[in-house]
Amino acid sequence: MQVTTEQTDPCTLVLDVNIDEQQVARAFESSYREFGRYANVPGFRPGKAPRAVVERFVDTERVRQHALEKIIRETYPKVIEEQGVEPYRDPQFDPTDLEDKKPFTYKATIPLEPQVIIGEYTGLTVEKPTFPVTDLMVDKQIDKLREDRARLERVSDRAVKLGDVLIAETQVVLEGDANPAPPRRQLVQMGSNIPGYDEALVGMQIGDEKTFELTYPDDYQEEERRGKIGKFYVKLSSISSRTLPELDDDFAKDVADVESVEALKQTIHNRLQANATRISSEIAEQRIIEKILDKSDIHFPHVLVREEVEERFRQLSNDLRQNNASYPQYLASLGVNQEEHQARIYAEAEAQIRSLLALREVARQESLQADDEAIDSEFARLAETGAIPAGSFEEFASDPRRRYQVANALIQQKLHDFLFSNNTLVEVVQQAEASDSE
């Protein structure tokens, strides 16, 4: 057995393993013996038929695959031991064609442990945006709460107005559609339609019918409708007006369990402020990490990116299934195609891995760890706050997976505190418009 090595990058080692014909022949002989023990060969007890006879009663391709796996299983551990290699993940094998009594070669691409040469991570200066919470923002949140709790009341003495909720028989015929769906009865929310639709319905009376044409916007969520002309048919059945609840102490008690409108405004202000503070902190921390990455040299095997991408798509698949949505619908909502979305996921996964490896190295150098005592204390705190169900403390605290999650959260918090304490954050107040956007 001969081995040649090539390090294609700092975290990938490629081994070319050459197997002589004698070892190949032994692997085939062993495989035929094993298959012979289970083959039904007329005139012979199991395992007693000569190989020449067995060959006529077994699938040669399965024997070849068995011999291939046997060769790799027996030689690969010896190879990495002789070469002094410590794989970080399972290798990828790329074998040549295997034939009995002929030399054979396979390639093993081995991921190696990530290499991180961390740059400066203290003494850095970054801007930390701050987002002031305005009265207008609080009022908008209250308006939304009132809208969510609006009462619908049937009206019959007037025409359709903006903001109404309608029941109508509707149909849409897209240009070029030879088999349009038949008209159907549905709820029409005024204010939730393509441009021009609501305006076309304003002034209609119950029982009226109307036909009009509109062009779907270029950013419409359903890609197949973008930019196309639709012929719309509407027959109005009912009109309901939306009546907002009064903004009074009863409303405050109902939506937030507080005693007054002023207390409701303060509750909403506090919640918006907490969210703004969280966003501000996350942006500042990300800016510190970006500066650390700029000054660091980080290498890692591509398998880490592949694992992260696969996990993200698994999670996305679960989310779509729970929401009864399809992947094409999701892409349409983002306004991207499949290739663009996958490229984005790969880029995000790679960036996340770089960040995690850099932060892990900072934690290692600064001894920012979470011991059993700290983990137990955190479980106790979670139990006191009700985050752990009553009677489940021992189950949670002894679960290795949950202990790992708690330890990871503690280390992340220690890293956050360390980075904010050892770098300079220059607060920059953002305009109100920026706060609304965030």
Q: What's the CA gap between 131 and 41, in Å, rounded?
A: 81
Please state which CATH class domain 151-243 belongs to: alpha beta
The pLDDT of residue 175 is above 70: yes
Mean local confidence (pLDDT), 210-232: 90
Q: Where do we find the tokens 């399972």?
A: 90
Work out the pLDDT band at 334, boundaries 50, 70, 90: confident
Confidence tier at 318 by pLDDT (50, 70, 90): very high
175 burial type by CB count under 10 A (0-12 exposed, 13-18 middle, 19+ buried): exposed
Average pLDDT over residues 223-238: 92
- pLDDT above 90 as % of the chain: 76
Q: 91: pLDDT confidence band, cut at 50, 70 and 90?
A: very high
Q: How many CA atoms lie within 13 A of 87 on its CB side?
A: 16
Same fold, 2-113 and 115-149+255-296+366-438: no
The whole-number pLDDT of residue 432 equals 56
108 DSSP 8-state letter:
E
> How confident is the model over 210-220, as a mean pLDDT?
92
Nearest to 105 by CA among 32, 15, 227, 226: 15
Largest Cα–Cα distance in the chain?
A: 97
Per-domain boundaries in the chain: 2-113, 115-149+255-296+366-438, 151-243, 300-356
Assign 226 a pLDDT band (cuts: 50, 70, 90): confident
Asked if 171 and 180 touch (Cβ cutoff 8 Å), the reply is: yes
CA distance 421 to 369: 17
> In this structure, what token pair is assigned to residue 69?
């796996």
The reported pLDDT for the residue numbered 178 is: 82
Nearest to 414 by CA among 354, 376, 381, 371: 371
Q: SS3 for 134?
A: coil
Cα separation values, 35 from 25, 47, 50, 55, 61, Å: 15, 8, 12, 9, 12
Backbone angles phi, psi at 259, to 5 degrees: -90, -15
Phi, psi for 283 (deg, rounded to 5):
-65, -45
pLDDT of 263 over the 70 cut: yes
Instruction: Please list the alpha-helical segments (H only) found in 295-390.
Output: 302-322, 327-334, 338-365, 372-384
Lowest mean pLDDT, pick from 42-46, 118-122, 145-149, 261-265: 42-46
pLDDT for 24 = 96
Q: Is the pLDDT of residue 88 over 90?
A: yes
- Distance between CA atoms of 7 and 221, rounded to whole angstroms? 47
The answer to whether residue 104 scores a pLDDT higher than 60 is: yes
CA angle 82, 83, 86 (to 5 degrees): 110
What is the model's pLDDT at position 42?
84
How far is it, in rounded angstroms, from Cα 96 to Cα 363? 44
Tokens of 212: 């009009």
Mean model confidence pLDDT for the chain: 92
Lowest model confidence (mean pLDDT) among 118-132, 330-344, 396-410, 424-438: 424-438
Q: Is 211 helix (H, G, I), strand (E, B) or coil?
A: strand
What pLDDT is attached to residue 391?
82
Q: Is the dihedral angle over the CA atoms 183, 186, 192, 196 positive or is it negative?
A: positive
**Mean pLDDT confidence for 275-296:** 96
pLDDT at 438 over 70: no
pLDDT band at 224 (very low <50, low <70, confident <90, very high): confident
Is the pLDDT reported for residue 433 higher than 80? no
Q: Look at residue 338 and tell me whether its pLDDT is greater than 90.
A: yes
Calculate mean pLDDT across residues 382-401: 86
Q: How many residues does the chain have?
A: 438
Give Cα separations from 257 to 232, 247, 265, 273, 438 (angstroms). 45, 14, 12, 19, 27
CATH number at 115-149+255-296+366-438: 1.10.3120
Q: Which residues are registered as beta bridge partners of 117?
A: 297
pLDDT at 208: 95
Question: What's the pLDDT at 212?
Answer: 95
The CATH code for residues 2-113 is: 3.30.70.1050
Among the residue ranges 37-41, 154-158, 234-238, the one predicted with the least confidence is 37-41
The pLDDT assigned to 313 comes to 95
Q: Work out the average pLDDT over 37-66.
A: 86
If pLDDT is split at 50, 70 and 90, which confidence band does 393 have? Answer: confident
For position 176, what pLDDT does the model report?
84
Q: What is the pLDDT of residues 1-34, one digit of tens each?
A: 899 999 999 999 999 999 999 999 999 999 999 8
Instruction: Report the DSSP beta bridge partners of residue 279.
Output: none
Q: What is the mean pLDDT of residues 274-281?
A: 96
